[in-house]
Structure 1
Amino acid sequence: MDGLQAYGAGKAGGAFDPLTFFRQPQTVLRIFCWLFSIVVLGCIANEGYVNRPETVEEYCIFNQNQNACNYAVAVGMLCFLCSAGFLALDVYFPQISGVKDRKKAVMADIGVSALWSLVWFVGFCFLANQWQVSKPEDNPLNEGADAARATIVFCFFSVFTWALQCLLAVHKFKLGADIAIFNQDYVDPEQLEPTEAPPTY
């Protein structure tokens, strides 16, 4: 019966089962996306800025480019909120009774996941480039180097977690779109071809 689900959900309603929910691949990936955004945000917030030896002014460890640190902080924060929001939507999703509303939720998941995958890829390329061209004399004590590398690595991991999330959402969309039984448009049984049977509910 798992195949007969409108856009990845069974009959609307029912009790929430946390064990089943947290075993779903989509939920596991969503949690990884959420955790990776926390790691990126935490690395930049804690060790992404270093004081100059001669002054108290702070600068970004990524080639002294404030835009690099600002990008990582903004993406980490927004991705954290987005992941939490979609995790809440996943909890609420089986309660949605309208097929069209489910379809909109799945399409939003596809679009947002694809967008975040692209944003993380751009962030990975940008931060890796800025770290590569950073001058050793700008940071003689090599402060925050581990945090910078961790930020780059988790940006890279985030590209794949969000891309997999997008693929799972596409699979859910195809599953729901192929099921004629959940079509909300009324079809007069007399207008059906002799070989066609009316949908059973």
Structure 2
Amino acid sequence: MDGYQAYGAGKAGGAFDPATFIRQPQTVVRILCWLFSIVVLGCVANEGYVNRPEEVEPYCIFNRNQNACNYAISMGTLGFLCSATFLAVDIYFPQISGVKDRKKAVMADIGVSALWAFIWFVGFCFLTNQWQVSKKEDNPLNEGADAARAAIVFSFFSIFTWVLLSLLAIHRYKMGADSVIFNQDYMDPKPQEPAEAPPTDE
């Protein structure tokens, strides 16, 4: 980078540096969000249902509440996709030359991260409540208990990772653009055409 910044990145056009990118705080936290979503999704999708001989269909281990399992699976799937999408945006972000476009990307990051922190908070409360009121006779062998606890724990961790992403995005928003080189309509300059040679007298 040449020292000039716009919302946490330098002027567009530089080469992508994977080592620098992977060390950025928002990259590390976003990868954690991505991983936590996979854990919650995997735990509930694989071990969140109990099969009983007398039951026609498997039922959710969270108090036999299908909505609890559906919510957890939806959270995990959409959280995974959202994390992957914004990870791709982070990779592309330094190539965005317009400051207005960068500002929109950062504002979207703030809003989406705050929304997901709330979604995970609701999910954590919902799963915890349904697990606490689950009846032992519904699952006498305690099948999937570890998976249920893991889903609850990683839902809890996800609240903080998404809050942290929101705070990091707010920090980038407050950084704004360096007024020396950037303005709200800044675009990378186009290469100048070579000047025509002056006519010569014969």
Instruction: State the TM-score, normalized to the length of structure 2.
Output: 0.88
| Whole-angstrom CA distance in 2 between matches of 1:185 and 1:131 | 53
| Whole-angstrom CA distance in 1 between matches of 2:139 and 2:72 | 20
Q: C-alpha displacement at 1:51, in angstroms?
A: 1.0
Q: C-alpha displacement at 1:160, in angstroms?
A: 0.1
Alignment partner of 1:63: what SS? coil
Between Structure 1 and Structure 2, how many residues are aligned? 185
> What per-residue deviation string (whole Å, max 9, x for no partner) do you get for residues 54-77 of structure 1?
234200000000000000001110
Alignment partner of 1:73: what SS? helix
Alignment partner of 1:89: what SS? helix
Q: Which has the larger radius of gyration?
A: 2
Please tell me whether the aligned partners of residues 3 and 175 of structure 1 are also in contact (alpha carbons under 8 angstroms). no
Instruction: State the TM-score, normalized to the length of structure 1.
Output: 0.88
- Residue in 2 aligned with 1:120? 120
| Whole-angstrom CA distance in 2 between matches of 1:133 and 1:98 | 53
- Residue in 1 aligned with 2:62? 62
Q: Does 2:181 match 1:146?
A: no
- The structure where helix makes up a greater share of residues is 1
- Residue in 1 aligned with 2:52? 52
Please tell me whether the aligned partners of residues 37 and 80 of structure 1 are also in contact (alpha carbons under 8 angstroms). yes
Please tell me whether the aligned partners of residues 100 and 185 of structure 2 are also in contact (alpha carbons under 8 angstroms). no
RMSD of aligned Cα (Å)? 1.6
Identity among equivalent pairs (%)? 81
Give 2:106's aligned amino acid. Answer: V
Please tell me whether the aligned partners of residues 34 and 83 of structure 1 are also in contact (alpha carbons under 8 angstroms). yes
> What per-residue deviation string (whole Å, max 9, x for no partner) do you get for residues 126-148 of structure 1?
00000000000000000000000
Q: Using a 3 Å threshold, how does the CA distance of structure 1 residues 2 and 51 change in structure 2: closer, same or farther? A: farther
Q: Using a 3 Å threshold, how does the CA distance of structure 1 residues 43 and 185 change in structure 2: closer, same or farther? A: closer
- Residue in 2 aligned with 1:34? 34
> What per-residue deviation string (whole Å, max 9, x for no partner) do you get for residues 5-52 of structure 1?
111110101111000000111000000000000000000111000112
Unaligned runs of 5+ in 1: 187-201
> What per-residue deviation string (whole Å, max 9, x for no partner) do you get for residues 104-152 of structure 1?
0000000000000000000000000000000000000000000000000
- Residue in 1 aligned with 2:86? 86
